Amino acid sequence: MNEITAHVDALPGLDPRAPLLHVEDLHVEFRTRDGVARAVNGVNLWLNPGETLAVLGESGCGKSVTAQAIMGILDTPPGHVTGGRVLYRGVDLLRLPESERRKVRANRIAMIFQDALSALNPVYTVGFQLAELFRVHRGTSRREAKRRAIELLDQVRIPDARRRVDDYPHEFSGGMRQRVMIAMALALDPEVLIADEPTTALDVTVQAQIMSLLADLQRERNMGLMLITHDMGVVADVADRIAVMYAGKVVEEAPVYDIYAHPAHAYTKALLESIPRLDHKGQALNVIRGLPPALTDIPTGCAFHPRCAYAREICRLEPPPAYQIAPHRVTSCHFVREVLGV
């Protein structure tokens, strides 16, 4: 057995009773020619087994960078984690040496990406790539690894898995490739799955298939799912809780029903009012004026204030504190009462 095949329970400080995943005050910076881009500015998140947490936000809000920091796959340089903790069952992953961290990746926390074609290796068959996981991480024999690869393809409902296992990624359709990537992520039975825009590149009917597959697999395995997306429709269908991000911060966090019925942050509310809906034909869409801020030049106070309809002087001067407005409901908005209309 090589180093990686050693069992993960050997992680020093691992406490099976500690929360599954807890991100505390995470900061990530990118040092660029145009200055320091503060991509993540104090993100707090937690995830329980069997739960789906949606991290919702537009391009550049820091949602993908947060995921990369959790996984330990941040491009360094230019990216640097400059503060905070990522606790997996009580172990701070950010302080682990890389050799220990590799045992966590795929084994305990796995990730799938938007673009399956570029995430898979084009010159190996999908069977080889799946089997490789078992051979490297578990020291399984080739024969046994291939058997398990077929089993996995079957579990992600790829028809005729026994034959398809020897196909190359380009021989699969977009939806089928996404299934292959899900199979790879789940191969070693992780407790946490991070899905970064897993269906954004897919057609709606295929998206529905993939989301339903993910939900089934999550239920079967009691996995914690962190779904990173910009799609408020997908979120409404699958999430238990939602964390809304803006300019590198979680601005509102709430159970899914509450956030759609009573958004408690001006940004969340404006976002919900700006999307066209399938279930009715509305009037002119509510527009959020202006643009998301440049991360090298984040506005003072509340980062949303230049675009906010509720903003007053205080929003420019002081960053809003995190108000706990109900159990599991946190919002960082100075005018939460006005936004809620109470």
Partner 1 sequence: MSDVVLETRGLVKHFKARKGAVRAVDGVDLQLRRGETLGIVGESGCGKSTLAKLLVGLEKPTQGEIRVRGEDLTRLGGAALRRSRRNIQMVLQDPYTSLNPRMTVGDIIGEPYDIHRDAVPQYGKARAVQELLDIVGLNPDHINRYPHQFSGGQRQRIGIARALALRPEIIVCDEPVSALDVSIQAQVINLLEGLQRELGLAYVFIAHDLSVVRHISDRVAVMYLGKIVETGNHAAIYEQPTHPYTQALLSAVPVPDPRLRGRRDHIMLEGDVPSPADPPSGCRFRTRCWKAQPGCADHEPLLEIRQRSSHPSACHYAEVRHVMRRF
- How near is the Cβ of 43 to partner 1 at its closest, in Å? 20
Please give the Cα distance from 134 to 142 (Å, whole number).
9
**In three state form, how does the secondary structure of 55-80 look?**
EECCCCCCHHHHHHHHHCCCCCCCEE
- How near is the Cβ of 204 to partner 1 at its closest, in Å? 4
DSSP line for 198-248 = TTTTS-HHHHHHHHHHHHHHHHHHT-EEEEEES-HHHHHHH-SEEEEEETT
Angle, alpha carbons 335-256-222 (nearest 5°): 140
The interface mask with partner 1, positions 142-161, x = CB under 8 A, is -----------------x--
Answer whether the bond into residue 77 is a cis peptide, omega within 30°: yes
Of 17-25, 32-40, 278-286, 334-342, the window that binds partner 1 (rule: CB under 8 A) is 278-286
- How near is the Cβ of 174 to partner 1 at its closest, in Å? 8
Among 73, 121, 171, 291, contact with partner 1 (rule: CB under 8 A): 291
Residues in region 195-254 near partner 1 by CB under 8 A = 203-209, 211-212, 230-237, 239
Please give the Cα distance from 138 to 230 (Å, whole number).
36
Whole-number Cα distances in Å, 78 to 117, 220, 290: 25, 39, 28
Number of residues engaging partner 1 in binding (CB under 8 A): 49
- How near is the Cβ of 80 to partner 1 at its closest, in Å? 26
Of 28-36, 93-101, 121-129, 279-287, the window that binds partner 1 (rule: CB under 8 A) is 279-287
175 lies in the site for partner 1, by CB under 8 A: yes
Q: Which two tokens stand for residue 335?
A: 């005018």
Of 5-13, 76-84, 173-181, 184-192, the window that binds partner 1 (rule: CB under 8 A) is 173-181
Among 26, 256, 264, 315, contact with partner 1 (rule: CB under 8 A): 256
Among 287, 309, 314, 326, contact with partner 1 (rule: CB under 8 A): 287
Contacts of 310 (CB under 8 A, 6+ apart): 266, 333, 335, 338, 339
286 lies in the site for partner 1, by CB under 8 A: yes
- How near is the Cβ of 91 to partner 1 at its closest, in Å? 33
- How near is the Cβ of 287 to partner 1 at its closest, in Å? 5
- From the list 113, 118, 122, 114, the residue with the least C-alpha distance to 201 is 114
326 lies in the site for partner 1, by CB under 8 A: no
279 lies in the site for partner 1, by CB under 8 A: yes
- How near is the Cβ of 48 to partner 1 at its closest, in Å? 18
Of 65-73, 139-147, 190-198, 270-278, the window that binds partner 1 (rule: CB under 8 A) is 270-278
301 lies in the site for partner 1, by CB under 8 A: no
Please give the Cα distance from 117 to 174 (Å, whole number).
8
Q: Which is nearer to partner 1, 109 or 339 (CB)?
A: 339
Contacts of 170 (CB under 8 A, 6+ apart): 117, 122
168 lies in the site for partner 1, by CB under 8 A: no
The interface mask with partner 1, positions 57-96, x = CB under 8 A, is -xx-------------------------------------
Residue carrying the six token digits 């172990």: 91
Strands 109-112 and 323-326: unpaired
Q: Is 287 left (phi over 0), alpha (psi -120 to 50) or beta?
A: beta
3-state SS, residue 1: coil
Binding site for partner 1 (CB under 8 A): 58-59, 159, 173-176, 203-209, 211-212, 230-237, 239, 256-257, 260-261, 270-272, 274-282, 284-289, 291-292
